[in-house]
Structure 1
Amino acid sequence: MLFDVDGTLVDSVYLHVVSWWQAFRQYGHDVEAARIHRAIGMGSDKILGHLLGDGRSTEDDAGLRAAHGSLYAAYWARLRPLPGARRVLEGCRSRGLRNVLCTSASRPELEALLACLGADSLIDTVTSADDAGESKPSPDIVEVALRRSGLPADAVVFVGDSVWDVQAAGHVGIPCIGLASGGVSAAELLDHGAAAVYEHPLDLCEHLDEALTTAFRVALSHP
């Protein structure tokens, strides 16, 4: 099982939204919070171009990323796991599955997320934005996770909360189970190709066998 972290296991999406909104304002950009929310899940190598346009001057990009990182770091102590985050990892482990974290977070952010989860003993492999050339929706991070776990794509299911997770998994033929805990609707996740959608990790845990069966059935029907 490949798991995204922000919005999938940890309740952090809207903290990222506020941090980016403030960072943009510091540099004279008035970007609506709703647009920022829809971009969360991309790494910082993608989100600035997505929200500000690729034709912009990039001289402030490093400052914007640094501002976001500093503002978001102020929230680290307030991060909380989403309902059932540890339980779903335990459920996967009890079924003989490996748990792999696959996130566009930077390494410092990932360390804060891991501390919040407190589930190191249940996690087999971790990949972050620092391990790949491009972040989601590029499949780079997913491909790194596959190599490190030693598993083929047809033996893996991705769990994520954003359309970027669904797209990244789809690029390498991995079915994606969506969670609505990051604020994206079930309908939108399904429209982008999610095999099934659950409310949060606890909901997934309570329907884990059903979810896995559905995901692999979808994968087999779309070789």
Structure 2
Amino acid sequence: MDRAALFDVDGTLVDSNPLHVVAWWEAFRQDGHRVPTRAVHRAIGLPGEQLIDHVLGPSGDRADAARLGAAHDSLYGTFFERLEPFDRAAELLRALAGAGWTVVLVTSAKDRELSALRRALDADDAIRETATADDVDQGKPAPDPLLHALSLVDVPPDRAVFVGDSVWDMEAARRAGVSCVGLLCGGIPRADLMEAGAAVVYEDPADLLAHLGEGPFAVPDPARGRDR
């Protein structure tokens, strides 16, 4: 039976979190909301409406959310051609695919954003499927995106590992019954990721690549009769 390596993208494989923070901060400012960038940063990784509720409180209406979301999308879109992957991110995905793992991207990014992220990452040859928040009723930290991703490749939760950079990623994995690896490159402290459910935390994709022989990716595979 296959194993699945599930990956968040923003802040995990691509260095885009600071750009999202700036875009959301400016969208809030243009709409008359003065919010600290740290509050926005802590909410990155949530789908748009949930992010807005997390930052402003659940008092706005759908028109407010649509207006803020459209402003963010327009502002963030100006960065598409400047997106950069983290060091060795593509190599990490290819190493896992080459070792027999089924690689799936699980992201809150919309289709246009995801296309830009995949161009920056340049590792489509290693990616089997993608799952976005638009595919399910509830985004992270609900387990729905991860469970949907697993359904696409017919892999059960106990044969999957999810790699992410936010507490929302860790909580979603824990609730889905999937082992989770945290990365610090998204800017969230190690203690927060561990408390939210990370089995282990690495600095970035390059650090994880250097330690693939340890932790969740090194669990024995009975189907192959050896460790991966």
TM-score by length of 1: 0.93
Segment of structure 1 superposing worse, 92-101 or 19-28? 92-101
Counterpart CA distance in 1 for 2:213 and 2:99 is: 9
Secondary structure, counterpart of 1:60 in structure 2: helix
1:13-162 matches, cutoff 5 A:
13-162=17-166
Report the residue type matching 1:148 in the other structure: L
Report the residue type matching 2:58 in the other structure: D
Match of 2:9 among 5, 9, 12: 5
Deviation at 1:214, TM superposition (A): 7.2
Counterpart CA distance in 1 for 2:96 and 2:217 is: 13
Match of 2:181 among 177, 187, 195: 177
Deviation at 1:212, TM superposition (A): 2.1
Report the residue type matching 1:152 in the other structure: P
In the other structure, the counterpart of 2:215 is 211
TM-score by length of 2: 0.91
Residues 14-66 of structure 1 show CA distances to partners (whole Å, capped at 9, x for unaligned) of 00000000000010001110010000010103111111111234432111000
Residues 115-142 of structure 1 show CA distances to partners (whole Å, capped at 9, x for unaligned) of 1111111000111122111111111111
Counterpart CA distance in 1 for 2:215 and 2:81 is: 32
Counterpart CA distance in 2 for 1:198 and 1:104 is: 22
Retained in 2: the 8 A contact 1:204–1:211? Answer: no
Distance 1:215 1:52, change over 3 A: farther
Alignment gaps of 5+ in structure 1: 217-223
In the other structure, the counterpart of 1:220 is none
Counterpart CA distance in 2 for 1:56 and 1:4 is: 28
Deviation at 1:176, TM superposition (A): 0.6
Secondary structure, counterpart of 2:209 in structure 1: helix
Segment of structure 1 superposing worse, 84-93 or 49-58? 49-58
Counterpart CA distance in 1 for 2:217 and 2:108 is: 27
Retained in 2: the 8 A contact 1:107–1:129? Answer: no
Counterpart CA distance in 1 for 2:143 and 2:113 is: 20
Secondary structure, counterpart of 1:102 in structure 2: strand
Counterpart CA distance in 2 for 1:95 and 1:215 is: 12
Distance 1:131 1:205, change over 3 A: same
Counterpart CA distance in 1 for 2:162 and 2:84 is: 22
Count how many residue pairs are aligned between Structure 1 and Structure 2. Answer: 216
Report the residue type matching 2:135 in the other structure: D
Counterpart CA distance in 2 for 1:29 and 1:110 is: 27
Distance 1:14 1:59, change over 3 A: same
Report the residue type matching 2:85 in the other structure: P
Deviation at 1:96, TM superposition (A): 0.7
Counterpart CA distance in 2 for 1:178 and 1:126 is: 19
Secondary structure, counterpart of 1:59 in structure 2: helix
In the other structure, the counterpart of 2:226 is none
Counterpart CA distance in 2 for 1:145 and 1:215 is: 21
> Percent identity between the aligned chains?
47
Alignment gaps of 5+ in structure 2: 221-228
Deviation at 1:211, TM superposition (A): 2.4
